[in-house]
Chain A
Amino acid sequence: MNATSATAAPRLIVEGLGTSFPTEDGLVRSVADVSFSIAPGKTTALVGESGSGKSVTSLTLMRLLPKTANAQVTGRAEFGTRDGRRVDLLQLPDAAMRRLRGNELAMIFQEPMTSLNPVFSVGEQIAESVRLHKGLGRAAALAHAKRMLDLVEIPAAAQRLHEYPHQLSGGMRQRVMIALAMACDPTLLIADEPTTALDVTIQAQILVLMRRLQAETGMSILFITHNLGVVAHHADDVAVMYAGRVVERAAVRPLFATPQHPYTQGLLACLPGKAHAAGLPRPKRLFAIRGQVSSPLAPPPGCAFEPRCDQAQARCTQAMPPLIDIAGSRQARCVLRSAA
């Protein structure tokens, strides 16, 4: 990290983000008290299992939750725009948000087949965003779309421009998704499980591509994933989520070296790839986190992880512990850790 990026204001600061959905069975708090930030040109990973709230966090930030969900959103998401303003993404009027989205803020999704429109050629889909945001004419927009396909290393881009999503392989479709996201040169890319549907050799191609684009454009990336192997190699900072809350925040190396929250510790310990060092015999049993995530309709009274935690004490059931600063400029939501 050089001096300028260390002092530059974070591109995104999320503070106390909460998203709740009213349901027939009561209010479901999908995301509560989520805070993190992303520096310019850096990648922050949101890691968690199903139901941890990582996707709801990204959809809340992009304001893409369906109106019919009646989401109740609290907190702040301060975003530094290209022209130097700092805006709260959660308070911005719809029209202003539309100008940012697909432009300075872009998103790529897990399933490229369902997130591309099957009835438009890939060229038209990429051209649409530059026509809208940059006011380019049809021909200029298509030429830009071709440059974008070249940028994401799609061979024979001029020909692919006129093809439809079903004519492309999964890896190619994800490249098109990235081309679409990159079309207006975003400063923040939210990538929600971008490689989960791909095979590992294709995943490696896409990850290398994302890295290259980040190095070239200086964009920040919010990388949402459940894959700790991908996090280890592609994130600068990590926020681990459990049951809608961030339970631990740290830079990537200290997080993997000395996880502080019992959930993070358990998550790393139960990976078969971490089970034994090279050359040593494999252990008879893997570490396993017992039980399962509690229902969001009936959360435990105290710490959400307490029912599954081997280190739990009586006081863990009293109240949800706050995310506290601990030594080494990191944070953990656990009463067993003492404040720095």
Chain B
Amino acid sequence: MTTPLIEVRRLKKYFGSGTRPVRAVDDVSFAIRPGETLGLVGESGSGKSTIGRTVLRLIERTDGQVLYRGDDLAGLSPERMRKMRSKLQIIFQDPYASLNPKMRISAILGEALATHGLHPGKAARERRIGELLETVGLRAEHASRFPHEFSGGQRQRIGVARALAVEPEFIVADEPLSALDVSIQSQVINLLADLRERLSLTMLFISHDLDVVEYLCDRVVVLYLGKVMEVASTAELYARPMHPYTRALLAASPKPDPTIATEHVPLQGDIPSPIAPPSGCVFRTRCPHAIDACAQAVPALDEVGAGHQVACIRKELFMRKEAA
């Protein structure tokens, strides 16, 4: 087994101090192999964006480790971390909010290059900016324009170009498609898939769209209220979901085909507050299969098959069903 490019160990991120902090991320572990795209799925408040930002140290973790090629990123001085950022980049959700409206595209991309001292000299830098724009399907002459002159899909391409400018190895893509229309979404999905292959990128792909995750990701981590519910390869997870939450999530996501009958068992109630998460299994308050024992202890993330882990004390329920 190859060493992971990124390894997250028992990561915790609590917001607010005192006795009742918001437990946004609570004891999350996973690893991403070089060249792999790992999907992080969950609903609002599951902690997926917080994990993405904590991994890159855009916000500081409360506890746990984030290892990049075996080294803990938290141990790095601000100066070394800044250098490291040329390897670790992010694409944000909102292409309207993430580009400075007062900067030309050449300045937005040039800033990334200048920060890391790449392609020094005016001519070389201009050439590189043109090259980057062409990489993401725009034209070199677009460099002199301002963000407002572009559509949402084009802006997201600029966001991708900015992340690629410093030749990163690892990209966190935080809901990069959710602000885009369907017809534009597929253009950006294709772009991400092409670039990933051409530049052998490793990706943490954060999304609430299960269809997009199934299409783009190699493996998937399912989160609920800051905790990992299930981890598996994409094919395995979509074919044999074992955690009641994963099953509910897949059942609730309407398929664009009227001939597929959806088994409608929507979950009751709302996601509980992360300030006072339920004892034991955090999902038990909405789980149709919960029993008294679920409130007793936090279920361990157990291996149920090759690379397939589930945090549920009643997982046998679905394992037997699958075997039968």
Contact = CB atoms under 8 A, between A and B. Distances in A.
A and B part of one assembly: yes
Interface of A: 49-50, 169-172, 199-205, 207-208, 226-234, 252-253, 256-257, 266-268, 270-275, 282, 284-290, 292
Given A204-B267, A257-B259, A271-B186, 18 more contacts: A49-B182, A50-B152, A170-B44, A201-B43, A204-B251, A229-B255, A229-B256, A232-B257, A253-B259, A256-B259, A273-B255, A284-B193, A288-B187, A288-B190, A290-B187, A292-B151, A292-B153, A292-B184
A171 B189 contact: no
A199 B208 contact: yes
A233 B258 contact: yes
B253 A270 contact: no
Contacts of A271: 182, 186, 211, 256
B186 A270 contact: yes
Nearest to B258: A232
A266 B183 CA distance: 8
B115 interface: no
A204 B266 contact: yes
Interface string B252-271: 11111111101010111011
A259 to B, nearest CB: 11
Contacts of B248: 201
Contacts of A203: 252
Interface of B: 43-44, 151-154, 181-187, 189-190, 193, 208-212, 214-216, 248-249, 251-260, 262, 264, 266-268, 270-271, 286
B270 A172 contact: yes
Contacts of A286: 186, 189-190, 215
Contact of B254 (A229, A257, A267): A229
Given A50-B181, A201-B43, A233-B262, A282 B215 contact: yes
A282 to B, nearest CB: 6
B186 A232 contact: no
A200 B253 contact: yes
B270 A274 contact: no
Contact of B267 (A205, A267, A289): A205
Contacts of B185: 270
Contacts of A285: 190, 193
Nearest to B152: A50
Most buried by B among A50, A268, A273, A285: A273
A201 B254 contact: no
B214 A272 contact: yes
Nearest to B151: A292
B258 A252 contact: yes
Contacts of A273: 211, 214, 255-256
A272 B212 contact: yes
Contacts of A289: 183, 186-187
A272 B183 contact: no
B181 A228 contact: no
Contact of B211 (A226, A230, A272, A292): A272
A283 B154 CA distance: 24
A287 B151 CA distance: 20
Contact of B257 (A227, A234, A270, A274): A274
A272 B189 contact: yes
B256 A208 contact: no
Contacts of A169: 270-271
A264 B190 CA distance: 20
B255 A200 contact: no
A316 B320 CA distance: 58
10 contacts: A199-B43, A199-B44, A200-B208, A204-B266, A205-B266, A232-B258, A256-B256, A272-B209, A286-B215, A289-B186
Contacts of B153: 292
B137 to A, nearest CB: 10
Contacts of B216: 272
B270 A253 contact: no
A267 B189 CA distance: 14
A246 B111 CA distance: 45
B258 A253 contact: yes
A49 B253 contact: no
Chain A to chain B: the 9 pairs with minimum beta-carbon distance, closest first? A273-B211, A229-B254, A270-B186, A204-B266, A272-B215, A199-B43, A49-B181, A204-B252, A289-B183
Contact of A226 (B182, B189, B212): B182
B252 A270 contact: no
